[in-house]
Structure 1
């Protein structure tokens, strides 16, 4: 791409976050997601690109507002991925880890993925490639502890608090590591592991499309990612083949999901989370916490933005 679009896509995540934060905690899971999707679409539509929307997990959901196939008013062709509100159930219930995300890259740089489950393991750049998704959680945790020069008991593992993770959680506890359980927001948990600020490693099952965004973050910020899609039947395998995936035992790494350094990612917190603070409303506006990262330079910024609605109303 001939331009750094990071500052432009972060404006879209800010508007989505402000829109969702205004109705957070009201309990309507579908409405808060739809309003965030409408807000991010409206703002991204001003980009001077022809952005092809990829990896929209809700594309076929009848109750969810669809994202357009292309977004923007320009001629430069790009890939564009938008998660207007991750953890929308948590946002609607007034809980943590709700965040808005966007990724932009040159056309063909983001691998499309089927709407299936993916087992992931994510670590920061200080740990690197010592993990192996085919090894047990215990082995990977101990390898990471050695890489960081820590005792296993001082390692913090971020895991989604879901029934499917019960065996995983029991094994982590048995090996002696600390656990940070989160109800939703696997991307936020992965970003926390990349930076090492609140956890050392993320392990667990999530969604495959989100894996592409997590890989983009690794490409921009450093670290290491492995993911493996799980197929329950022939229908799942046929869905993967529609995305050019024929090796059903494949371990996906950064280079498999993000094929270019010309990529940027942005995010804004809606509610307080593992990686970003949520929106804070003031008497005449709001304060948002965001980040922008760019793969070409590994430039990484955290932003605190003050919005004054008297001058630029959002709603």
Structure 2
């Protein structure tokens, strides 16, 4: 891409994060998501692109503000993935690990994927391709420990705290590894594993569209992902076929979800999380913490931005 869109899309994640943070903890789960989506739509519509929105997990939820099929004022065709507010319940309840994300890529770069559950294993670039999703959690933990030259007992596995993960949690505990349970914020958990700062490996079921966002981050930062979509019935398989997926045992890797190096990724924390700190309000405005990365150059920026509402109010 001739233009570094990363600094353009991070403005959108900042505005979405500020909007959501303003009503953080008030308890209305749908309202906080809708307001964040309205805010990010308004900001992305200022870009000089014709952005085709792909993999919106809430596209069929009638009570949720719909993302337009295209965003921008017109210009080159681009792919967009927009997660205005990950972990909406956490943000609405005043809990941790809520973040806003946007991905932009050249046209045709992002795999359209059904809104189904996907089992994922994510590790950082130091670990690489040693994991195998068809092997047991114990085998994968031990492989990670061996590559990182750690005792198994010193490996940290990030897992969403869900009933469906009881067996997974029990097995990881039985092999002796440490566990970091998170209530929401799957993408942040994966990013923590990619960075290696708060986790060494992410495992578990989440949504398939989130997998494409994680794949975009790995395209920019390095790391490794394997994912398998769960098909519970014929309707699920029909959804997959509609998205061009015919192999129901397919193991998805980054190159299957993102097929270009011309991609930028942006994230802004709403509440303190596994990857980014949340919004801090001040007497004159607010402070946001964001992350911007570009795949073509493998460059990334950690941004701390001071917003002065007297000069440029966002509400």
- TM-score normalised according to structure 1 size: 1.00
Residue 74 of structure 1, CA deviation: 2.4
**Counterpart Cα distance in 1 of 2:202 and 2:306:** 32
Are 1:122 and 2:122 an aligned pair? yes
**Counterpart Cα distance in 2 of 1:139 and 1:149:** 15
**Counterpart Cα distance in 2 of 1:279 and 1:75:** 32
Q: 1:216 aligns to what? A: 216
**Counterpart Cα distance in 1 of 2:82 and 2:116:** 18
* Deviation digits for residues 141-191 of structure 1 (CA, Å, limit 9, x no counterpart): 000000000000000000000000000000000000000000000000000
Q: 1:16 aligns to what? A: 16
Q: 1:286 aligns to what? A: 286
**Counterpart Cα distance in 2 of 1:212 and 1:152:** 29
Give the 5 Å matches for 1:222-237: 222-237=222-237
Residue 300 of structure 1, CA deviation: 1.2
Where does the alignment leave 5 or more consecutive residues of structure 2 unmatched? none
* Deviation digits for residues 209-261 of structure 1 (CA, Å, limit 9, x no counterpart): 11000000011000000000010011000000110000000000000000000
Where does the alignment leave 5 or more consecutive residues of structure 1 unmatched? none
Q: 1:66 aligns to what? A: 66
Q: 1:138 aligns to what? A: 138
Q: Aligned pairs, how many? A: 315
Runs of 4+ in structure 1 over 2 Å off:
none
Are 1:99 and 2:99 an aligned pair? yes
**Counterpart Cα distance in 1 of 2:249 and 2:262:** 28
Q: 1:197 aligns to what? A: 197
**Counterpart Cα distance in 1 of 2:139 and 2:145:** 10
* Deviation digits for residues 254-304 of structure 1 (CA, Å, limit 9, x no counterpart): 000000000000000000000000000000100000000111111011110
Q: 2:169 aligns to what? A: 169
**Counterpart Cα distance in 2 of 1:169 and 1:302:** 32
**Counterpart Cα distance in 1 of 2:74 and 2:58:** 25
**Counterpart Cα distance in 2 of 1:276 and 1:182:** 14
**Counterpart Cα distance in 1 of 2:187 and 2:234:** 28
Residue 75 of structure 1, CA deviation: 1.7
**Counterpart Cα distance in 1 of 2:294 and 2:135:** 31
* Deviation digits for residues 177-208 of structure 1 (CA, Å, limit 9, x no counterpart): 00000000000000000000100000000000
